[in-house]
Amino acid sequence: MDTFEAMRMLRVSRRTIDNYIKAGKLTPARISKRNHFAISQVQGLLHVPESPNIKSYKEDIRFMLQKVAQMDEIGEDW
């Protein structure tokens, strides 16, 4: 995939793609004066947050209360 397709897939700017290249997170292949990337490499940069495994309603409430308590300790305005 080319740079524009990678930008769209990752929802980042051109500068971010350049930073990924400099950091070694993406390795471009030059074809016809354009950078192309392996699809697997770009997909590896996609951030998918893990969702917690909730087994019951009580656990769900307990989990949410723990998160609220953590936010209160940090002092975030939510």
Mean pLDDT confidence for 11-37: 94
Q: How far is CA 2 from CA 29, 49, 52, in A?
A: 9, 26, 35
pLDDT for the residue numbered 62: 86
Question: Which 8-state DSSP code applies to residue 45?
Answer: T
Q: What is the pTM of this model?
A: 0.58
CA dist., res. 40 & res. 56, Å (int): 36
Comparison of pLDDT for 50 and 29, the residue scoring more? 29
